[in-house]
A and B are shown apart, each in its own frame.
Chain A
Amino acid sequence: MKSSRLIKLFALLTVLMLVAAACGGGGSETGDTGDKRTNEDVTVSDELNPGGTLRIAGVSDVDYMDPASQYYTVSFFLSRGVFRTLVTYPGNVTDLAAQNELVPDLAESTGQSNEDFTEWSYTIKDGVTYGLKLGGEEVAGVTGEEIVCDDFVYAFERIFTASVGAGYPFYYDIIEGAKEFQAGDADSISGITCDGDKSITFSLSEPAGDWDFRMAMPAASPVPRAAAEKYDKKEDSDYDRHVVATGPYYIAEWTPGEQITLERNEYWDAETDEARLAYPDTVDWKLGFDNDVGVQKIQDNEYDLGLDVSPQGPALEEWVTTPELNERLLQEPSGCTRYLFLNTTIEPFDNQAVREAVNLAIDRENIKRVFGGPTTGPIATSIVPPGIDGHLPSEEFNPFETENMAGDMETAKQMFQEAIGAETWDEPIKLIGASDPPHDRIFESVRSDLEELGFTNIQGKTPKFPNQYTQFYSVPSSETAVGSSAGWCKDYQSAFTFLDPLFHGDNILESGNQNYAELNDPEMNRLIDEAAASPLGEEQTAAWEAANRYATETGVWIPWSWDNDLIAYSSENITNVYYFGFHSQVDWVNIAINSEQ
């Protein structure tokens, strides 16, 4: 019973979408409000009163409790307070760029690498120990024991063990020997070596300048053999139900779909942790809310913080236009791009000029408007969203610029007719959207633009979200020509997490495909490979920018939103609330409860 593995990227995308957040300025007439709350308005403090209960309202459950399997923002959010890693994102830092300067967590310092980034070493701190397992029991021989090198060795062995079902092994399969271990040809992963209990080294088969970021993801947190091995030996591991805490909180209760309760982990030593202040004693996290209901509860101060609950549609309008509410709505870019894609294997979208014409024809301003307006984030003009290495601001790069990005139908029609050598395209094309709002409106906005451009035989279909992905976009045999409800969010601050899975020709699969446009362009592939292999820093940034530029110019995507996250909270009840880029959420481990609550 490993239970559900339903991860919900989909949910994540909805959430993010729902969660639209904000960037905007200027008066309700334009939908832009001059005063929006961002991290810049937050003054953080590390001397607030501990204690109290943080009440979180959420829609979705975690995908897994097992850190190896988790691959979902809601789960990452939880893991921030429950599982520690060698290095992590700093706490109480409001500057988004500075948030990406990793700090040591279980390790004494950030990773030490050799010159070509193929060997990374860490020394584990003294005094870091395991706490209670899920449910609050002690685990003999684990609870209270020091975290040692072998716990990491085991954590990575698990990632490459079939019974575990790891979330993102592809970030770690460059560890030497990982593939052999996975194939069963080796009893251990040769690239991970321990020197005593406290020193660990990773040898990589190819350079990875961003290795520390990968080590800051939950899957890289230590797992004690003594606690997990017996579960992992089953055909389908159920360690999920027995995870042992290392962070300031342990999971006291988990009723799937309903409730997560976290309690203070007495084995956690604040002295060893520079990223988490962990003010509240308890986290009372109620799941399964209907989004609008959750928003209402936060508005009424019955809950302190919305996780994947966020004002949308008319509720968003109310929050933004009511000053008292607007002050309680934290708005920051989320690291997600929403887009339409054009399938390059289907006529006429195999034709670059046609794709360019469609890029010009689509009224992105209207899509943005029916999605909720500027508060939900700026209109995207290229693929990689803000806050990520390789991002290009609109002023700097906008290959398909039109007035307000509302499209230029006349020019587009001309280009289109020239490209196809006819007035209209009468062959059927499949346009797939989704039926749930706002996707239905986006679909209709796009359909109407395509029709006006000259597609006379559009076969539209709007399955229930997220079936547009599972039955159409990710399945080349569905012959989806245009997808109107696609979106993607970063894993970490690198354009790699966008361009490689979504634009690299090697990643086209017959099912579970994510390169929806099925773009297999040698130049594109080369740019991605080169950028991935270049050393971290300016050189890599420039390489990603070039790849981003090229990818956008192919016209296979029509990006239309760089989402904002909109985080609603109760300023009456909690303070120290700032946006935390890694989860696309607030950094709850540093929130303090107001004592009057």
Chain B
Amino acid sequence: MAQSASDFLQGPSQPGGGPEAEGPGVVARTPRQLFWRRFKEDRLALFGGFLVVFMITVALAAPVVESIVGHPYDEQYRDIGTNAFGSPNPPTGSFIFGFDDLGRDILVRTMYGARVSLTIAIVATGVELVIGVFLGILAGFMRGWVDTIVSRFIDLILSIPFLLLGIALSVTDFLGGGEKLIIFIIAFFGWPYIARIVRGQTLSLREAQFVEAAYSVGAPTRWIMFREILPNLLAPILIYGTLIIPQNIVGEAALSFLGVGIQQPTAAWGQMLAAATPYVALGKAWWFMLYPGLALFITVLGFNLLGDGLRDALDPKTGR
């Protein structure tokens, strides 16, 4: 629901630069230098960057930690992990995050969950960017019936309930289920946001002088679209990509929370939260829900801070 917010995140009107580029009689700086200067002064963004790096490290270090603590992510500690009713046992000295409902180590599984979460979110974002940018430029540049078709297609996709389609598809053999299915669903519902933004940018860029200039020397349409306009879109694309990653992480977690996609014994945060749900209302097994939830929160927060910072650095008007 909140995704529709991105429609209104105002895109930078002049990519790469901005009115502040010409400071009152000081050293000339390239837009890139300005960008970095602003970004480096933004402590929240740097903190976000730190969180992102931290979670990526966690994901990469998962197998290392696994072998240090000696608890494979899919090993079931049947004697000590669950009680006689099958409820997970609390943290102990060597299982510092406690056990899940199969007696597995939550620390190791939470770390492995980061791998799944980040991989899916980043791949899905990549797919979204490719489709969204291509169709966005096409619609914005060609206008007319191409634009109408793309825009209506976007409307159509946005009127299909995202989670329901996910669950419905998971009942079929579509793409064989699993991570591929999740990536498909997320990307399918995600590209329209990118396409809308890119389309808007393209609409204004195609009126720009350098485009007119390219036209006047007889450059072919394709060349103008991908050689003239696309490079000017790279910065906003990068930033919206960063801003979309956290949404995709939440999307992945929501789908796996509802039981779509990730197959045991692979660990996913949403799936861990879902498994912890029955204990929650009874006030039991807090560790089962808390750690995967926190990991999810930290990751999303990190990307949000980073993305905000990048956007603000690029276009200070929208920022704080």
- Complex contact flag A–B (Cβ < 8 Å): yes
Contact surface of A with B, Cβ cutoff 8 Å = 28-32, 292, 313-318, 320, 363, 366, 369-375, 406, 435-438, 440-441, 443-445, 447-448, 460-464, 467
B181 to chain A, nearest CB (A): 12
In the complex, identify which listed stretch (B20-28, B137-145, B274-282) lies at the interface while the others stay far away.
B274-282
Alpha-carbon separation in the docked complex, A435 to B262 (Å): 10
| B171: chain A residues within 8 A (beta carbon) | 463-464, 467
Alpha-carbon separation in the docked complex, A524 to B317 (Å): 81
Once the chains bind, are B278 and A369 in contact (CB under 8 Å)?
A: no
Alpha-carbon separation in the docked complex, A369 to B87 (Å): 9
B272 to chain A, nearest CB (A): 12
The residues in B between 34 and 86 inclusive whose CB is less than 8 angstroms from any CB of A are 74, 76, 78, 82-86
B74 to chain A, nearest CB (A): 7
Alpha-carbon separation in the docked complex, A272 to B259 (Å): 53
B227 to chain A, nearest CB (A): 47
| B279: chain A residues within 8 A (beta carbon) | 313-314
Once the chains bind, are B84 and A370 in contact (CB under 8 Å)?
A: no
- Cβ 8 A contact of A445, one of B102, B275, B281, B285: B102
Once the chains bind, are B263 and A460 in contact (CB under 8 Å)?
A: yes
Once the chains bind, are B265 and A369 in contact (CB under 8 Å)?
A: no
| B263: chain A residues within 8 A (beta carbon) | 460-462
Once the chains bind, are A441 and B170 in contact (CB under 8 Å)?
A: no
| A30: chain B residues within 8 A (beta carbon) | 84
Nearest A residue to B281 via CB reads A292
Once the chains bind, are B102 and A370 in contact (CB under 8 Å)?
A: yes
Once the chains bind, are A315 and B275 in contact (CB under 8 Å)?
A: no
Alpha-carbon separation in the docked complex, A106 to B133 (Å): 76
| B76: chain A residues within 8 A (beta carbon) | 366, 444-445, 448
B178 to chain A, nearest CB (A): 9
Nearest B residue to A318 via CB reads B282
| B259: chain A residues within 8 A (beta carbon) | 435-436, 464
17 sampled A-B residue pairs with Cβ under 8 A: A30-B84, A313-B87, A314-B87, A314-B285, A316-B85, A369-B85, A370-B82, A370-B86, A370-B102, A371-B86, A372-B86, A373-B83, A436-B259, A444-B264, A461-B177, A462-B264, A464-B259
Once the chains bind, are A313 and B86 in contact (CB under 8 Å)?
A: yes
Given contacts A363-B78, A437-B278, are A373 and B102 in contact (CB under 8 A)?
no
| A436: chain B residues within 8 A (beta carbon) | 259
Alpha-carbon separation in the docked complex, A538 to B167 (Å): 52
Known: A406-B78, A445-B102, A461-B177. 12 other contacts (CB 8 A): A30-B84, A314-B278, A314-B285, A316-B85, A363-B78, A366-B76, A370-B102, A375-B85, A440-B275, A441-B101, A448-B265, A462-B264
Alpha-carbon separation in the docked complex, A28 to B87 (Å): 12
Nearest B residue to A312 via CB reads B278
| B281: chain A residues within 8 A (beta carbon) | 292
Interface: B180 (CB within 8 A): no
Once the chains bind, are A29 and B84 in contact (CB under 8 Å)?
A: yes
B79 to chain A, nearest CB (A): 9
Once the chains bind, are A366 and B78 in contact (CB under 8 Å)?
A: yes
Once the chains bind, are B282 and A440 in contact (CB under 8 Å)?
A: no
Once the chains bind, are A369 and B282 in contact (CB under 8 Å)?
A: no
| A371: chain B residues within 8 A (beta carbon) | 86
Q: Binding site of B, secondary structure by majority: helix, strand, loop or mixed?
A: loop
Interface: B206 (CB within 8 A): no
Nearest A residue to B170 via CB reads A464
Once the chains bind, are A374 and B265 in contact (CB under 8 Å)?
A: no
- Cβ 8 A contact of B83, one of A31, A448, A462, A463: A31
A13 to chain B, nearest CB (A): 18
Alpha-carbon separation in the docked complex, A76 to B127 (Å): 53
| A441: chain B residues within 8 A (beta carbon) | 86, 101-102
Return the 8 tightest CB-CB contacts between A and B, nearest first: A31-B84, A317-B85, A373-B85, A370-B86, A313-B278, A444-B264, A369-B86, A435-B259
Alpha-carbon separation in the docked complex, A314 to B281 (Å): 10
Alpha-carbon separation in the docked complex, A369 to B101 (Å): 10
Once the chains bind, are A369 and B84 in contact (CB under 8 Å)?
A: yes
Nearest A residue to B265 via CB reads A444
Alpha-carbon separation in the docked complex, A29 to B82 (Å): 11
Alpha-carbon separation in the docked complex, A314 to B276 (Å): 10
Once the chains bind, are B265 and A370 in contact (CB under 8 Å)?
A: no
Alpha-carbon separation in the docked complex, A302 to B171 (Å): 36
| B275: chain A residues within 8 A (beta carbon) | 437, 440
Give the interface centre of B85, B101, B279, B281 by most chain A CB atoms within 10 Å.
Answer: B85
B120 to chain A, nearest CB (A): 18
A117 to chain B, nearest CB (A): 46
Given contacts A314-B285, A464-B170, are A447 and B85 in contact (CB under 8 A)?
no
B182 to chain A, nearest CB (A): 14
Once the chains bind, are B74 and A448 in contact (CB under 8 Å)?
A: yes
Alpha-carbon separation in the docked complex, A205 to B101 (Å): 54
A318 to chain B, nearest CB (A): 6
Give the interface centre of A29, A313, A443, A461 by most chain B CB atoms within 10 Å.
Answer: A313
| A313: chain B residues within 8 A (beta carbon) | 85-87, 278-279
| A437: chain B residues within 8 A (beta carbon) | 101, 275, 278
Q: What is the 8 Å Cβ interface bit string for chain B, positions 165-198, against chain A (1 contact, 0 not)? A: 0000011000001000000000000000000000
| A363: chain B residues within 8 A (beta carbon) | 78
Alpha-carbon separation in the docked complex, A317 to B83 (Å): 10
Once the chains bind, are B278 and A292 in contact (CB under 8 Å)?
A: yes
Alpha-carbon separation in the docked complex, A374 to B83 (Å): 11
| B86: chain A residues within 8 A (beta carbon) | 313, 369-373, 438, 441
| B282: chain A residues within 8 A (beta carbon) | 314-315, 318
| A406: chain B residues within 8 A (beta carbon) | 78
| A462: chain B residues within 8 A (beta carbon) | 263-264
Alpha-carbon separation in the docked complex, A406 to B79 (Å): 11
Once the chains bind, are B101 and A370 in contact (CB under 8 Å)?
A: yes
Once the chains bind, are B78 and A440 in contact (CB under 8 Å)?
A: no
Once the chains bind, are A317 and B87 in contact (CB under 8 Å)?
A: yes
Alpha-carbon separation in the docked complex, A318 to B76 (Å): 24
Once the chains bind, are B264 and A440 in contact (CB under 8 Å)?
A: yes
| A31: chain B residues within 8 A (beta carbon) | 83-85
